[in-house]
Structure 1
């Protein structure tokens, strides 16, 4: 009797991982929305127009795809799993939607994305950060992206100064886009259910950006330092010998290359990729940014090679922080505009982060 009961439970567990005869794999982040009311809500909150071309990432078996086709002009669906691609084509073959659906089989992070007006996505959580970067770096301007994220990751995207989840990811994302939390989604709305709850977020790219493209690598370099110990004062962070050594090395290199001006190579949004990636890793492993340095190994090696920092340069950095009242402030409480101003006054003093 007990054996039969256990067998039935195992069978129910297997069935929960199937839809239309296709097994879903948790290891690949395949969690299909099964709640039709939730699907309708996501489409409604996306604000789709009848003339819109919609990019859908991770369409699965097409539950959301059908609603998107009903609302917009056309759907471009990017799906990495060939089984799901076949299911999509089978589902819409011979329907009025067939000619308005284009399916691209491939990894969305490696594909060249076509023109689209709106992106709607229920994605594997492990690609959250690089996907945001890729979308915000898209050469064609789009109106918005409505994306399902792991709830804690979504909360980091919208976190404000003083919030416990406020981090470099928050500041970087909000520099490039306006981010709005739309709704919380419980794990039982998926088949199979993930281990955590989700949230749907609306991302609207900023045009123009608050910073010029040639400043973006420097911006991220400064934030790496500021958020290496986000709850310590900036005065304490910038007194560390290794950080001062790296900055002084940059200072001397730039002075040697451009004795009369501060030369900077042109950079683009791709320079932010590493920053988004590191922030997601912090979110995934549960480590607080105040527990370990976020600077990459190559940066640490460069700092070690720079040797002891001259007291004059140390005074120069400290002087900037004191003059503009940043010495006793903490990154965890600084706004985006304050970070932009901090970068500006450092640059005016010929102190650079790239």
Structure 2
């Protein structure tokens, strides 16, 4: 049928999911229910959309590609619980959805080129979000779910785990997509903490400490943080300045950020 003849666009990073088994497994993992508020980012040709609407949930979708709008409207526009928002998810104001706090369930097969900035954009609206289920490049999911001590542990792991509990649900091979990507994918669940386990005095200073620490991840903290904290300040935070950044857990980075906050304010 001609309405479905849409070619995936490289500039949008499009790879359309078509494997029915994978689609069913993702929908089972999300387990949407009647009356819930769902937001799907980048629905593409609607592979997940149909199942999400079938749950009885209220579904908003955000799609950037103008060529996909008529396809989505023809498939789902008659459904009163479906609302299509054309635009860029990176610039979308999630407050316009008028969702209750901690109610919004976000779903997306995210283009690899925008996945990290989009996750940070969503985390800035974490007060609205109950959970997020994303299809991402497998190596990105491994970084999100990483633990201290390994090469995957870094800025993305720390800043996402500051806000969320992370679960690497399952992997998806290239054959589940059209066209097949050159990399493996994975499904991740992110659940924003209702109470932060390690709240920082100043979230921006935590971001700064983490960014500086991992700019030269092979160097010791004493060297990478010397523009922010001297050896005495690092030790005062209960951290060994001779360690490399990947050896520190989230709580240690928060202590370093709080030390910088005290130093900055004189508190």
**1:28 and 2:29 aligned:** no
Q: 1:119 — aligned with what? A: 106
Q: 2:205 — aligned with what? A: 218
Q: CA deviation at 1:322?
A: 4.0
Taking a change above 3 Å as real, the CA distance of residues 339 and 63 of structure 1, as seen in their structure-2 partners, is: same
Q: Which stretch shows the higher mean deviation, 63-72 or 229-238?
A: 229-238
TM (normalized to structure 2)?
A: 0.88
Taking a change above 3 Å as real, the CA distance of residues 140 and 220 of structure 1, as seen in their structure-2 partners, is: closer
Q: CA deviation at 1:117?
A: 2.4
Structure ranking higher in strand proportion: 2
Structure 2: which 5+ residue stretches go unaligned? none
1:100-249 alignment runs, 5 A limit:
100-113=81-94, 114=97, 115=99, 117-138=104-125, 140-209=127-196, 210-211=198-199, 215-239=202-226, 243=227, 247=228
- What count of residue pairs does the alignment treat as equivalent? 256
Q: CA deviation at 1:184?
A: 0.4
C-alpha distance in structure 1 between counterparts of 2:35 and 2:135, whole Å: 23
Check conservation: 1:26, 1:194, Cα contact below 8 A: no
Runs of 4+ more than 4 Å apart: none
Q: CA deviation at 1:208?
A: 2.8
Q: CA deviation at 1:238?
A: 3.8
TM (normalized to structure 1)?
A: 0.68
C-alpha distance in structure 2 between counterparts of 1:184 and 1:139, whole Å: 25
Taking a change above 3 Å as real, the CA distance of residues 55 and 325 of structure 1, as seen in their structure-2 partners, is: closer
Check conservation: 2:202, 2:258, Cα contact below 8 A: no
C-alpha distance in structure 2 between counterparts of 1:22 and 1:322, whole Å: 58
Q: CA deviation at 1:346?
A: 4.0
SS in 2 for 1:44: helix
Which of 249, 257, 260 is residue 343 of structure 1 equivalent to?
257
Greater Cα radius of gyration, structure 1 or 2: 1
**1:333 and 2:247 aligned:** yes
Q: 2:75 — aligned with what? A: 91
1:37-57 deviations in Å (ceiling 9; x for gaps): 111111111132222111011
Give the superposed CA RMSD.
2.1
Structure 1: which 5+ residue stretches go unaligned? 1-17, 248-315
1:240-277 deviations in Å (ceiling 9; x for gaps): xxx2xxx4xxxxxxxxxxxxxxxxxxxxxxxxxxxxxx
C-alpha distance in structure 2 between counterparts of 1:174 and 1:197, whole Å: 23
Q: 1:284 — aligned with what? A: none
Q: CA deviation at 1:110?
A: 1.5
Q: CA deviation at 1:235?
A: 2.1
Q: 2:56 — aligned with what? A: 72
C-alpha distance in structure 1 between counterparts of 2:128 and 2:93, whole Å: 15
SS in 2 for 1:129: helix
1:144-187 deviations in Å (ceiling 9; x for gaps): 00001111111111111111111111111110111110110101
C-alpha distance in structure 1 between counterparts of 2:243 and 2:85, whole Å: 48
Structure ranking higher in helix proportion: 1
